[in-house]
Amino acid sequence: MLTEAEREHLFLVGIGRPPKSQSASRDGITPQLQRFLDALTFVPATIANPQWDIVAWNDAARVALADYGALSKDERNILRRMFLDRETRTAQEDWESVARFLVATFRAETARAGEDDRAAELIAELSSKSAEFAAMWDEKDVQWTGEGVKRIRHALVGTIEFEFSSFAVDGRPDLRLVTYTPAGQDDLEKMRQLCHRSGTDRSDAFPR
């Protein structure tokens, strides 16, 4: 009978910790949130669920990171792509550092949310298919996503450097928004080129 906000408040007041989210099975986002993503013309942005399946993205993410709409739901998983997809691996300027960071942050986030059956199944799958994932998972490192720098090698425009930031989605504790802001003017121009090639360039919506 409680709303998500009321339930969380009750747990925090009563036992000093938030409850495990009840929203794990809701993969969709609101139209308002999708419009926010779409307004970030040259800033790739994605939203992921607790198992790190990408459930929403904008056109900038499609042209710079991956065409998520052309992938199956399983193929949209961040960890599967990093460890099992050759193109994703090749696009990383320093694959091992990126992979270690992802494994450490996934461990921290699943521990914070309370590891569920779907996360356990993903860990088991990747451990059986990738010796590198299994070794990194066994190291038991933990990190928070927070902010940082990401460099990708793009087949059309070369290396693009982004400053990424991670945000919780208020009212949806099961979702996390990540934005990738072009780090410099050259990187912004490369994003403009990509968006122009794809027909999604809306320059008037983005301040120069």
Per residue in 9-55, pLDDT tens?
Answer: 566 677 766 666 554 445 689 999 999 999 999 999 999 998 999 99
> How much is the pLDDT for 128?
98
Rounded CA gap, 164 and 182, in Å? 9
> How much is the pLDDT for 208?
38
CATH of 31-205, one of 3.30.2010.10, 3.10.580.10, 1.10.10.10, 3.30.450.180: 3.30.450.180
Cα–Cα nearest to 99, from 80, 71, 122, 120:
80
Tell me the domain boundaries of the chain: 31-205
pTM of the model: 0.84
Rounded CA gap, 200 and 100, in Å? 33
Rounded CA gap, 82 and 154, in Å? 15
> How much is the pLDDT for 2?
63
Give the contacts of 190 (CB within 8 A, at least 6 positions apart). 154, 157, 158, 160, 182
**181 DSSP β-pair partners:** 163
- Where would I find the beta strands (DSSP E) of 33-117? 45-48, 54-57
Task: Report the helix count and the strand count for the chain, using DSSP H and E.
Answer: 9, 5
Mind listing the pLDDT tens digit for each residue in 102-159? 999 999 888 877 667 889 999 999 999 999 999 999 999 998 888 999 999 999 999 9
3-8 average pLDDT score: 60
The alpha carbon of 57 is separated from its chain's Cα centroid by a whole number of angstroms, namely 9
